[in-house]
């Protein structure tokens, strides 16, 4: 079952912040975040493992609340290069595949 | 390293034809998966494999077959193409549990 992402789309001006949320109805082992530019393949951003950790990657960070089966991706001081569609992928415990949400389209304008 | 290689990049088929989308990885990854991407639907899992000789169905397996005879290759077969299978298909691989997934460049398939 696909995780649920919100919002579906967001428009930002350069320098503004955004939060993208991901929730699952199943118990999770890990949450992955990917960014896809138009016409290209998704590219890995970060992974959060069971344990409720928070990670950062430049001005992009994420958190994982395993009790609520929720993850959030935080984009601060957005840049034009942040534009794209962001996907969360969830992994259940055991030998299971990554299942992705429908994506959040982020547009950063000057 | 080439990473995940998908062929062909583009393909047009007629309804009822069959074809195989190829996927190969040179990273010795155990886990491989096929996804299809349609507007507004995100990435939907078709089939996956956790090792050579092991495959399982994903969310949208109907009309597709897979096999995994080697660690490197994971072909996706369309048995009798239908217009509803027009999509962009991505193959992906990763080392195992809790590891990042690498995507191929995709195959853009149109069925008339």
Is the pLDDT at B4 greater than 90? The verdict is: yes
Q: Does B41 touch chain A (CB under 8 A)?
A: yes
A105 touches chain B (CB under 8 A): no
User: Residues B30, B31, B34, B40: what is their CA dihedral angle, to the nearest 10 degrees?
Assistant: -150
Contact predicate B46/B64, CB 8 Å = yes
> How large is the average pLDDT for residues B6-25?
97
Taking the CA of residue A6 and the nearest CA in chain B, the distance in Å comes to: 13
Q: What is the DSSP string of chain B?
A: ---EEEE-SEEEE-TT--EEEEEEESS--SEEEEEEEETTTEEEEEEEEEETTEEEE-SS-TTEEE--SSSSB--EEESS--GGG-EEEEEEEESSTT---EE---EEEEE-
Asked if A3 is an interface residue toward chain B (Cβ–Cβ < 8 A), one would say: no
pLDDT tens per residue, range B33-89: 999 999 888 999 999 999 999 999 999 999 999 999 999 999 999 999 999 999 999
Q: Give how far B44 is from chain A: nearest CA, Å.
A: 7
pLDDT (tens, 9 = 90+) of chain A, 110 residues, equals 899 999 999 999 999 999 999 999 999 999 999 999 999 999 999 999 877 666 666 789 999 998 899 999 999 999 999 999 999 999 999 889 999 999 999 999 99
Residues B34 and B46: beta-carbon distance below 8 Å: yes
Q: Does B97 touch chain A (CB under 8 A)?
A: yes
B48 contacts A99? CB cut-off 8 A: no
Size of interface A-B (CB pairs under 8 A): 63
CA dist list (Å): A99 to A13, A28, A63, A70, B26: 31, 11, 18, 14, 23
- The CA distance from B13 to the nearest CA of chain A, in Å, is 21
pLDDT at B27: 96
Q: What is the pLDDT of residue B103?
A: 98
pLDDT score recorded for residue B2: 77
Q: Does B45 touch chain A (CB under 8 A)?
A: yes
Most A CBs within 10 Å, among B61, B100, B106, B107, to test the A interface: B100
Per CB-CB distance under 8 Å, the chain B contacts of A104 are: none
The confidence score (pLDDT) of residue A54 equals: 66
Q: How many angstroms separate the CA atoms of A87 and A96, rounded?
A: 18
Q: Measure the CA–CA gap between A34 and A15, rounded to whole angstroms.
A: 21
Q: Are A110 and A15 in contact (CB under 8 A)?
A: no
Is the minimum CB–CB distance between B102 and chain A shorter than 8 Å?
A: yes
CB-nearest partner of B45 from A40, A44, A99: A99
């Amino acid at each position: 079952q696909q995780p649920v992402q919100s919002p579906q789309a967001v428009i930002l001006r350069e320098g503004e912040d955004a939060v993208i949320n991901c929730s699952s109805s199943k118990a999770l082992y890990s949450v992955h975040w990917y960014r896809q530019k138009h016409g290209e393949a998704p590219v890995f951003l970060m992974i959060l493992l069971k344990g409720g950790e928070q990670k950062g990657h430049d001005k992009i960070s994420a958190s994982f609340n395993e009790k609520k089966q929720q993850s959030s991706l935080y984009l601060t001081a957005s840049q034009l290069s942040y534009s794209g569609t962001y996907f969360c992928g969830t992994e259940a415990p055991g030998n299971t595949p990554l299942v992705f949400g429908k994506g959040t389209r982020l547009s950063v304008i000057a | 390293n080439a990473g995940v290689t998908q062929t062909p990049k583009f393909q047009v088929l007629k309804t009822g034809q069959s074809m195989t989308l190829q996927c190969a990885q040179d990273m010795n990854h155990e886990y491989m998966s096929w996804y299809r991407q349609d507007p507004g639907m995100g990435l939907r899992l078709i089939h996956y494999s956790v090792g050579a000789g092991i495959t399982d169905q994903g969310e949208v397996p109907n009309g597709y077959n897979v096999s995994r005879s080697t660690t490197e290759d994971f072909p996706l077969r369309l048995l009798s193409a239908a217009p509803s299978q027009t999509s962009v298909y991505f193959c992906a691989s990763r080392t195992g549990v809790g590891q990042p997934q690498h995507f191929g460049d995709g195959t853009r398939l149109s069925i008339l």
